[in-house]
Amino acid sequence: MSYFARSSRLCVLTQSARTSLSKPQWCHMIHTRANGPVAKCIAVPKPSVSKSIATVAALGATVTTIACYNSLSPAKGVECEGSTPTKKISRAVEADGKLRLKGLTDDSPIRLRMEAYVKKLQEQITSELEKVDGQAKFKKDQWVRAEGGDGISMVLQNGKVFEKAGVAVSVVYGMLPPAAVAQMRSQHPNIKTSSTESVPFFATGISCVIHPHNPNAPTVHFNYRYFELEDENGGEPLSWWFGGGCDLTPTILYEEDAVHFHKVIKEACDKHDPRYYRDFKKWCDDYFYISHRGERRGIGGIFFDDLEDKSVNELFAYVQSCGNAFVHQYVPIMERRKNMKYTEEDKHWQQLRRGRYVEFNLVHDRGTKFGLLTPGARIESIMMSMPLTARWEYMHEPDVKAHGKLMEVLKAPREWIPL
């Protein structure tokens, strides 16, 4: 198939049309049908892995704000999205639209309350970060999914304090193929459906990555997300879970910053379960491990996935506590470090450590990898987490006197606060 996009419409030139036309003919047809600014024109083979699986996997790891089209149905000739709908769309799309218009309450479906929460949190965090920067403003990029859902990517670049900061939210409705449902059932035995057809799913979340100019100020990342498999008949979800986490990546280690970051998120965890911080900190240390370097990406935080050990309302409250803690975790650190003096050597070391950040994201991070393999994905949103600048040097050896303590922590994670 060949795909081309005009604004939010997706047009498909099928294999049958391509074989009946010469390449110049079908290329001319594509550009004629677009008739205007062409946002994207690519030729790709039919994927062997369902796009909806890739979307779910990406959202399940780190919300990458993918706006892709899943399970495109076979068609004859050239068809444009919106003219003759052929895809099966979740019934929840229309029902949820009506509920949003009526207004949400505490009894509204959790998916809508989580969606409303992450969008509100995005506004709060970007507002606070603009205050810290004191100069630059976030650029807002909004998109809409044809199958249902939308997203907002907000990015600040080349500010006074922040070299790059991105805060993105996404809301995705889609259809999950039977093979993917069967795979999920192995991890979630409460999925009772034995359907041989695709099952509707919903996913929403917020993701944030911040890279400051000053090497004394740490890079930070967080994301919180919710996923559910929907009942085809509109009943209770077949299965649901939360995921997320936060982690700090300093260039220059200040132990009081590490203690503060962990203390605030531990307090948020302890309100809901005394085991959460202990278990999720270890999970974070294990997840952000750069195996080919033998070191962690940073000094950790928390990480969790497939969380369903309490009621949905209890866990929604937990995720809100974690999300609301972020400004208190990070802004005080930035206020302490953003105006500190630094040397050319400090900046050089920052660029090298950012190289490690990029390596983890491209080699190990599940969300980034699945997003990049997803046809039609929003590459700009996926790559939002990358720093503007990074550096690699052959056989570089860090200055042990200046950075020995940081390297020790990256190779052997510490307990920053008493458990």
Mind listing the pLDDT tens digit of every residue in the chain (419 residues)?
A: 333 333 333 333 434 444 444 434 433 333 333 334 333 333 333 333 333 344 444 444 434 433 332 322 333 333 333 333 445 667 788 888 999 999 999 999 999 999 999 999 999 999 999 999 999 999 999 999 887 899 999 999 999 999 999 999 999 998 888 887 777 777 777 777 666 778 889 999 999 999 999 999 999 999 999 999 988 777 788 899 999 999 999 999 999 999 999 999 999 999 999 999 999 999 999 999 999 999 999 999 999 999 999 999 999 999 999 999 999 999 999 999 999 999 999 999 999 999 999 999 999 998 888 778 766 677 888 899 999 999 999 999 999 999 999 999 999 999 999 88
Q: Is 62 exposed, middle or buried (0-12, 13-18, 19+ CB in 10 A)?
A: buried
Q: Give first-to-last CA distance, the chain, whole Å.
A: 55
| Residue 102 phi, psi dihedral angles, 5° rounding | -75, -25
Q: What angle do CA 218, 222, 225 make, to 5 degrees?
A: 175
For the record, the structure tokens of 320 come out as 């809100």
Helix (H, G, I), strand (E, B) or coil at 274: helix
Give which of 195, 215, 94 is closest to 149, Cα–Cα: 94
| Residue 200 phi, psi dihedral angles, 5° rounding | -70, 145
Q: Answer yes or no: 221 catalytic.
A: yes
State the Cα–Cα distance between residues 296 and 285, nearest whole angstrom: 7
DSSP 138: P
Model confidence pLDDT, tens digit, residues 33-68: 333 433 333 333 333 333 334 444 444 443 443 333
Model confidence pLDDT, tens digit, residues 243-275: 999 999 999 999 999 999 999 999 999 999 999
**Angle, helix 178-187 to helix 51-61, in steps of 10 degrees:** 30
Model confidence pLDDT, tens digit, residues 131-182: 999 999 999 999 998 878 999 999 999 999 999 999 999 999 988 888 877 7
For the record, the structure tokens of 236 come out as 């209770």
For the record, the structure tokens of 254 come out as 């200040």
Contact 134, 160 (CB under 8 A): yes
For the record, the structure tokens of 62 come out as 């780190």
Non-local (6+) Cβ contacts of 139 within 8 A are: 154, 155, 156, 157
Catalytic residue among 211, 213, 221, 403: 221
Q: Which helix (H) or strand (E) holds 130?
A: helix 110-133
Cα separation values, 271 from 78, 277, 305, 318, 328, Å: 56, 10, 19, 8, 16
DSSP per-residue string spanning 54-106: HHHHHHHHS--------SPPP-SSEEETTTS--S---THHHHHHHHHHH---T
371, HSE (Cβ side, Cα atoms, 13 Å) = 26
Contact 57, 66 (CB under 8 A): no
User: In this structure, which amino acid lies at residue 368?
Assistant: T
